[in-house]
Structure formats: C-alpha cells, structure tokens
Amino acid sequence: NAGVTQTPKFQVLKTGQSMTLQCAQDMNHEYMSWYRQDPGMGLRLIHYSVGAGITDQGEVPNGYNVSRSTTEDFPLRLLSAAPSQTSVYFCASSYSGSLATHSGQYFGPGTRLTVT
C-alpha cells in the first residue's frame, strides 16, 4: 500500500493564481480531510469528507474548494491564491464507523506552498 500520497511536494504561486493540490489514498478509507500547518498554530482543518459525494467545511475553509467524486481522491483547489495561504498542506484519511475504533488519521507527506 502506498498509503496517502500528495502532489506536488512543493509549489510557488503568484497572488491571484489558482491551482489544485492532489491527494489520493489506497486504504479504502471513507473519511478524508485537508489541514494546513503554520508555525505556532498546529494543524487546522480546512475541509473534510465522510464519503464520496459528501464534503463539509472545517475551521479555516475560506479560499479553498473541495470535491470527492471517488473514495480514493480528495483534491483541494485554491481559487485565487493569497500570501496568507502560504503554508504546508496535509491530506489525511481514516476509517469511519465500526472500523474506526483505536485508529487515528493517516497523513500524507505534505505540500509546501508559497504564494508571492
């Protein structure tokens, strides 16, 4: 199993540009989520999905869109990049329901995004 994969690893954008961060998992997890990590702030939840076709907002959703057309993929779209979106972005997945006992979220390696 590859686990949770993210592409690209690094990206530099100019203010106003748009892009999509890719996330995929091969563990058949129902639950997927996106976090951003900033110095001194820990990880903050951007958007999450409890299954294909179902998404919802987390703590810091503004400026980001998501969709979940398959169980495996959960892309994060930046609509019009701003310097405040400079961060490290992590995708995570986990089981839900009865399989969720004693399991946490599995995180990808992250995408380092700089907006100039």
Residue ranges binding another protein (CB under 8 A) = 4, 31, 33, 35, 40-45, 48, 50, 58, 90, 92, 94-97, 99-110
Minimum distance, C-beta of residue 48 to another protein, in the bound complex (Å): 6
- Residue 24 or 110: the one with the smaller Cβ distance to another protein is 110
- Residue 35 or 64: the one with the smaller Cβ distance to another protein is 35
- Residue 17 or 73: the one with the smaller Cβ distance to another protein is 73
Minimum distance, C-beta of residue 71 to another protein, in the bound complex (Å): 15
SS3 46: strand
Burial 68-101 (b: 16+ CB within 10 A, else e): beebbebbbebeebeeebbbebbbbbbbeeeeee
**How far is the CA of 33 from the CAs of 10, 12, 42, 93, 116, in angstroms?**
19, 22, 15, 6, 26
Minimum distance, C-beta of residue 18 to another protein, in the bound complex (Å): 25
